[in-house]
Structure 1
Amino acid sequence: MNVKIVEHTPNPERVIASAAKLCYSPTDIDSLLQKQTPDNVEKFLKMLVEMGHESPIEHVSFTFAVEGVSRSLSHQLVRHRIASYSQQSQRYVRLNQFKYIIPPEIAKDSYLKNVYIQHMINSQRTYDELVYGLIASGRSEKEAIEDARYAFPNACETRIMFTMNARVLMNFFKHRCCNRAQWEIKALADEMLKLVKEIAPMIFNYAGPSCLCGICPESKMTCGKINEVKELYG
């Protein structure tokens, strides 16, 4: 998995502090911006977090580029609907040798791993045969790969770029950094959290699974490791 931030709102913490301050200040915008020193920004952001005033953090956004993840992950990712997504298309890109993700629990068992890999080989063979057959029947290459792609498994590797604002990211981390999240999207969420903390540590200081700032919302389905989670994301 390769995750990077390709763009983000410049001076994100200053932007959020300024937008929030505007809600409570009679000062004109130019004067307000001039007063936003690093110390003032830090103090106001701390107050903002304590107040639970979340709407100002929507002014800041981050664009991620992700490679080496499965279609299974991307199907989960796009459920976070307040975001913008661009994904490598299997309708326009012919996959002469598709790459795939092997789940760790399968990878550590040699027999299961071999079964899994053989299925991937068979999937590629089926795809190729469908493409050749459809082209031979008079379909264009685009039309052929558009139908042949149905043979690919969820394990098929994909590339995706997406943009989320900071408030959406906070919600994303609450759900996907949780120990009960599926392993691949949890790994993505943890890596994304590391990256945004480097850019805006005050905004994401308390970001992470829901149990960091309260009780576990999973009730009887809790992982039972709330203390370890709090120490990890601390």
Structure 2
Amino acid sequence: MAHQASKQQYEVLDKGFVRLVEQMGGDLAVVLAARVSYGSRPQGEEKDRRLINYLMKHHHETPFEHAVYKFHVKCPLFVARQWFRHRWSSFNEISARYTEFPDEFYRPAQLRVQAPRNKQGSEPAQLENEAELLRLIEQTHQLLYQNYQKLLAAGVARELARGLLPMNSYTQFYWTVNARSLMNFVNLRADEGAQWEMRQYAEALAQIFEQTMPWSWEAFVNFYWSGENPAIKVR
């Protein structure tokens, strides 16, 4: 579960975070975009909340595109590569060609085993040699980063030396996304079928969405959300 470090930032995993940089529009932006069709204005909280519920229930989702978020994200590379599959948004990522990557790797607190009925999923398990396997991961990180540093010190270009960095390396990027696409992201990535590490970031985004667009959040949970996750609820 993501830990709220401040009103706009959640700490995720061992070294990651999701930070809200800025937001354009909110629930009222959705209301205004919807009511312009009739040349009308906001009608007060009760009617406007009812309108948002109607839009969500009947899949009239374009008004939600008028609320836009910009996030700063720090996550493992393997999480980022899943994240970038969501194309209806904009990304700018730190480049290992332009800058030297720091010694920052995701170190799981415990290991999971392959799920027997899901080729791409995992499930918790008690491994007798888990401590040894976790040490193996740590030793591999240290060795790869030491060799990465040796290549750089020898004058090898960053764009080649970065090939030694594992998928557990942390990366950072800016992500600009409208509320409609954000809801789609949360609906897919907060579900229990998503990878556990990915879910932690989706839950952090869900909490920010809930805080900044509470009317839309309630409608999302009631009429859009199709996954399974006890963290996704109306509080």
* TM-based fold match above 0.5: yes
What is aligned with 2:184? Answer: 171
Among 94, 98, 101, which residue is 1:88 paired with? 94
Q: Which runs of 5+ in 1 are unaligned?
A: 217-225
Counterpart Cα distance in 2 of 1:58 and 1:212: 17
Cα deviation, 1:104-144, whole Å, max 9, x if unaligned, reads 333993211110110001101221222223x2xxx6xxxx1
Per-residue CA deviation, residues 82-109 of structure 1 (Å, 9 max, x unaligned), is 11111111111113x4200012333993
What is the deviation of 1:36? Answer: 4.0
The correspondence for 1:40, drawn from 30, 36, 47, is 47
Q: 1:232 to 1:74 in 2, by over 3 A?
A: closer
- C-alpha deviations, 1:7-53, integer Å up to 9, x for none? 1113x111111111222x1x3xxxx33x4433332121122222221
Closer, same or farther: CA 145–232 of 1 in aligned 2, 3 Å? closer
Find the counterpart in structure 1 of residue 65 from structure 2: 58
Quote the sequence identity (%): 24
Q: Decide whether the 8 Å contact of 1:99 with 1:156 is kept in 2.
A: yes
In proportion to residue count, which structure has more strand? 2
SS state at 1:233 partner: coil
* Structure of higher CA gyration radius: 1
5+ long unaligned stretches in structure 2? 1-11, 113-125
The reply to whether residue 202 of structure 1 matches residue 223 of structure 2 is no
| Bigger relative contact order, structure 1 or 2 (CA pairs below 8 A, ≥6 apart) | 2
Matching residue of 2:141: 120
Distance in 1, Cα, partners of 2:224 & 2:50? 25
**Aligned pair partner of 1:17 in 23, 28, 31:** 31
Q: In 2, Cα distance between the equivalents of 1:188 and 1:125? A: 29
Aligned length: 202
Residue 105 in structure 1 maps to residue 126 in structure 2: no
- CA deviations on 1:163-209 (whole Å, 9 max, x unpaired) are 1111111111111011010111110001100011101011122446x
SS in 2 for 1:105: coil
**Per-residue deviation, residues 55-91 of structure 1 (Å, max 9, x unmatched):** 1111111111122x20111111111011111111111
Question: In the alignment, what sits opposite 2:18?
Answer: 3
Question: CA separation in 2, counterparts of 1:58 and 1:173?
Answer: 15
What is the RMSD of the two structures over their aligned residues, measured on CA atoms?
2.4
Letter in 1 for 2:188: H
Q: Are 1:147 and 2:160 an aligned pair?
A: yes
> Is the CA contact 1:98–1:124 (under 8 Å) kept in the aligned structure 2?
yes
Q: Tell me how far 1:232 sits from its aligned partner.
A: 4.0
